[in-house]
Amino acid sequence: MRAAEQLRVSRLSVSRSAALIWTLAQRDLKARYKGTLLGWLWSLILPLVTLGLYALVFGVIFRAQVEPMGNGHEPNYAVWLFLGLIAFNFFSYGLLRGAASLWSLAGVLNRVRVPALAPILASLVAVGLQTLVELVLYLGVLALFMNVGWTWLLLPLWVVLFAAFTAGLTLAVAVFAVRYQDVQQLLAVVLTFLFFATPVMYPLTMVPSDATVGALSLRDLLGASPVAGFVDLARSLLYSLEPGDPNQWVYLSASALIALGLGLITTSRYGSDVAEWLQ
């Protein structure tokens, strides 16, 4: 009976935490575009404007060469680029907004006992919903090009792994961003560097094969990043219609588990100190 009662309490706790996360995510979404005339349309306008700018600079001026679509259609740099931006922006915005989420609720956290991971995950859910809208739009674009294949069925698995990877890092970064305020400033610098170091706007084949960093190949070094791996795998599944290399799936699965474990350990160990740090 005692075990059954503990299980019931555990389920109730999970249910309440999920409800709290969803409530905070809705609050985040409502506040983000409050007072604007276009509202949620801004979540589409801003990425499309960014896409147009990068497509002009790298596709027209620098003439980046990308591979053909999986159905044999001629290469389309804008379509190829759009998916990279969707993936990286989810990772980048998730970390940035997650790092600021606890500070934004400092007044509440000082008065009410709220699990530290709730506002962090809520900010990530809000970013994820915006990313989902962009991803659905992207799938519609691919459908117009008739670039559809069975590899799309692997997309949910990719989403789960990438979300777990991003959530784990966001949990860890958000907690330390409260303890050390320099973390948010450093994070902006790191993400800017990572954006250009990740093959979002250019294929890795554009990196000279003889370029090295010490004894390491620059091309291999840039491609070894888990973020680069997630971007590359997404393009394989949706743009190239290829299932991806099994070793790549294993590597990204391990990266997701390690990142998620790091985030959960961090919130478990230091989450109770967040309210004190915010004072």
Q: Give dist(CA 167, CA 91) in Å, integer.
A: 9
The angle at the Cα of 41, spanning 32 to 148, to the nearest 5 degrees, equals 120
Residue 155 corresponds to which amino acid? L
Q: Indicate the burial class of 266 (C-beta count within 10 angstroms; 0-12, 13-18, 19 or more).
A: buried
Q: Give dist(CA 213, CA 115) in Å, integer.
A: 43
What are the tens digits of pLDDT across the range 91-133?
999 999 888 877 766 555 555 566 667 788 888 988 898 899 8
Q: What percent of the chain has pLDDT over 70?
A: 77
Identify which of 175-179, 201-205, 239-243 has the greatest average pLDDT.
Answer: 239-243
Chain Cα centroid distance, residue 72: 29
Domain ranges of the chain: 23-278
Chain Cα centroid distance, residue 276: 29
Least confidently predicted of 158-167, 177-186, 222-231: 177-186
Query: What pTM value is reported for the model?
Result: 0.84
Q: Give dist(CA 81, CA 75) in Å, integer.
A: 11
pLDDT of residue 167: 94
Does residue 13 register a pLDDT over 60? Answer: no
pLDDT of residue 35: 65
Structure tokens of 233?
A: 């795998």
User: What is the mean pLDDT of the segment spanning 220-228?
Assistant: 92
Q: Rounded mean pLDDT of the chain?
A: 82
Residue 234 corresponds to which amino acid? A
